[in-house]
Copies of this chain bind each other. A is one copy, B any other.
């Protein structure tokens, strides 16, 4: 099977996107419908694999699918202003930072409580006290 005639399993292996997800991305219109063999098997060429790999990398950076949709459109538009790409990226950076900070805040609070918990066989515990409203 050459690089220009891969079925969905090979495309999944080559791109790192599961076959299940490839079908899903097609269904929601993130990627165009794949060409089909006579009996209905999806086939992918090098360009299709490239798109899937792009999507996987964007997912690895935590982009939601709707933003990936925008990035794909920008990618395909050779006249795009790089400012548009940067705007999408920085918006996502802000979202990532906000989420991370929220998690860190929770972690800090909980760590502070845990530090004051004996952690032995005694029942009294400031963690439960806090949750119960002291």
Contacts and interface: CB of A to CB of B under 8 A. Distances in A.
Contacts of A37: none
A53 B62 CA distance: 33
A64 B16 CA distance: 29
- Chief secondary structure at chain A's binding surface: helix
- Interface size class on chain A is 35 or more
Contact of A89 (B50, B78, B96, B113): B113
Contacts of A71: 128, 131
B127 A89 contact: yes
29 contacts: A50-B132, A50-B133, A53-B133, A57-B131, A57-B133, A60-B106, A62-B106, A74-B128, A75-B131, A75-B132, A81-B122, A82-B122, A82-B123, A83-B118, A85-B127, A89-B113, A89-B114, A89-B117, A90-B114, A93-B107, A93-B110, A93-B111, A93-B114, A96-B107, A96-B110, A97-B104, A99-B103, A100-B100, A100-B104
